[in-house]
Structure 1
Amino acid sequence: LFLRPSIFYISLYRGFIESMASENASRLTAMQKAEENIEERLDNLNAQFNRQRQNAITEELLDIIAGFEALGKSA
């Protein structure tokens, strides 16, 4: 007779624990996906920054070369 309430509470507790574990697993999955998205976005932003930086360097070099060519033609 005493065993029935204990089994009921154990079953209830087990359901609660499984629910908590499921919720935490879902949160972990969501956070891992968010981390992947952040890393992908950071990679894209770094690539974009490097392209812009390289374009600026190239333009500067072309300006310098054009300046030297202009000096050579006028001399």
Structure 2
Amino acid sequence: SIHGEHAPRGGNRQLKRAMFLSAFAALHDPASRTYYDRCRVRGKTHTQALLRLARQRISVLFAMLRDGTFYEPRTPRLA
């Protein structure tokens, strides 16, 4: 592509869509919004910031499954 970016084509399409929509909905959560805004300040586009947020949420979900715990939100760090 022109800007050196391309959509990831591998993996489960439905799962990727669900995680992207989950990240978009998570923008209402203060901690997720802080992470998204921090990515934007660092020069990431809207889509790149959402994908980073989705990846972060996947990491949290995996840790919850691995440890058998429930989600406990942390207070957001200020930039």
Give TM-score, length-normalised by structure 1. 0.32
Higher helix share: 1
Give TM-score, length-normalised by structure 2. 0.31
Of structures 1 and 2, the one with the larger relative CO (CA 8 A, separation 6+) is 2
